[in-house]
Copies of this chain bind each other. A is one copy, B any other.
Amino acid sequence: ADSVQLYGIIDMGVGHFTGIAPSNTTAAPGSTASYTGLMSGVVAGSRIGLKGTEDLGGGLKAIFKAETGFCPAGTNQTGAGTSGYCTGGSFMGRTTMLGLQGSFGTVQMGRYFTSMFTNEINYDPFQAGFTGAYSNFSLGIFGLNGDAIGSLLRSNQTITYISPSLAGLTVRADYSFNTGAATDPINTAGNKTTMWSLDGNYAIGAATVGANYTKVSNITVNASGANTGAYKVWQAFGSYDLGVAKLMGIYERGTADYYSGNDSSWLVGTTVPLGAGMIMASYGQYSSSLSNTVALSKSTAKQYAIGYSYNLSKRTMLYTSYAHINNDSAAVDRLGTALAVNTATNSNAGVTGQGSSGFAVGILHSF
C-alpha cells in the first residue's frame, strides 16, 4: 500500500566538557578549558523527515526519504564549527534518497550515509551518539580529514545497490560521482572527487561478520587544476548477541597513494539490556604513521566510554554517558579532537598530550 509519513527526533541534553582547547589565542600552550551547555542531538541528531513508499505493481516499489536536521538548543553550541552542523549541510541535507525496490534488491540514489559510516554506527554501542561515540576518532570521520575530502560520513551524488538477503548475506555497492561537500572544479580533464565502496554483511544465528572496502579518488588538486590521488580504507567488523549482552567490534585501516604509512582505528564494545534500560560501554584507539604535510603523523589517541539509557516509552528516552579520551604527546595530534556531541563536525578540539572528558544527561523524543 502507498504511504507518506512525517517523522522526527528532538534530542537535547546538558553536557559538561573538560580538557578542551580554549579559543582565546593568548592562552598558554597546553592550557585547557572546560564548559557546560545545553546541547542539540547528543544521542541522535535532531531531525524532521518524510518517507514514503509507492506500490508500482509486479512486486516493484518506489521508495523515498528526505530528512533535514536542526538545532533545538540553538545554533550557538560551542564547537559547532560550521553553520551546517545541525542540518547536515543544507535543508534536507541529512539524508535524501529515491529508489526502486523489488525482488532484485534496492537501487537508490541521493545523499546519505556511506556504507563505511553505516558500519561505524551499527558496530558502536553508542551508535555514533552520546559523548563517547566511535566517530570521535574513526576513519570515517577523521580519515585524512586535512586533505580536502571532508569526512566519509555522507556522500553526495551517490547511486547504491543493496542486495536482498541471500541466506544471511547482504551486499551493498556504492558509487558517488562527487562525494565532496564542496563543488569540484571542472578542469579540462573533467576530474571530480569520486568514491566507490563494496560492503558485505553476513548474519548467522546470533552472530554477524562483515567487511568493507572504500576508495575515494581524485582528492588532491595539482598545479594544472587536475584532481588526482586516492585514499583507501579497509574495514572489518562483527557482533555476537549473548542475550544478556551483545558484544561488538570494528577495525579500520587507511592508506593514501600520495603518502607513505597508514592510519587505523578500532573499537570494542558491549550493550547490556536491563529492563527498560540499557548499559553501553566501549574502548578504542586511533593511531597514524602517515607521512604528510598536514601533521597527522605518528599520533595516537585512546578513548573509553560508558553510558546508560532508559525508555520512558517507545518514543521517549532518558540517557546519560561519560567518556574520556587521551591524546599522546606527538606534535599536533589531530585527535586532540575529542568527545564530540554525536558528530565530529561538532567536536571540541582537544590539546596535544592532554586528556579530555565529557559527560551528558538528556532526553530524546521521537515522533
Contacts and interface: CB of A to CB of B under 8 A. Distances in A.
Interface stretch (A65-73, A120-128, A140-148, A301-309): A65-73
Contacts of A80: 183
Contacts of A46: 96
A91 interface: yes
B109 A187 contact: no
Contacts of A190: 33-35
Contact of A157 (B20, B73, B109, B316): B73
B12 A73 contact: no
Interface stretch (A49-57, A198-206, A261-269): A49-57
A90 B73 contact: no
Contacts of A56: 312-313, 316
Nearest to A70: B92
Interface in A10-43: 10-12, 14, 20, 22-27, 31-38
A180 B90 CA distance: 23
A10 B156 contact: no
A92 B76 contact: no
Contact of A186 (B20, B75, B156, B158): B20
Contacts of A157: 37-38, 73-74, 76-77
Contacts of A14: 159, 177
Nearest to A28: B188
A363 interface: yes
A185 B182 CA distance: 27
A72 B62 contact: no
A37 B267 CA distance: 35
Given A12-B98, A62-B365, A74-B93, A27 B188 contact: yes
A110 B332 CA distance: 36
A111 B72 contact: yes
A97 B40 CA distance: 11
A342 interface: no
Interface residues of A, number: 88
A334 interface: no
Interface in A107-122: 109-111
A363 B63 CA distance: 12
A207 interface: no
A35 B6 CA distance: 36
Q: Name the residue in A36, A37, A77 with the highest tally of chain B Cβ atoms < 10 Å from its Cβ.
A: A37
27 contacts: A4-B6, A8-B66, A11-B98, A22-B187, A23-B186, A27-B225, A31-B188, A33-B186, A33-B187, A37-B192, A38-B177, A54-B313, A54-B315, A56-B313, A60-B312, A62-B315, A64-B365, A70-B90, A71-B92, A74-B89, A74-B155, A76-B183, A76-B184, A77-B183, A83-B90, A87-B91, A98-B365
Contacts of A329: none
Contacts of A185: 23-24
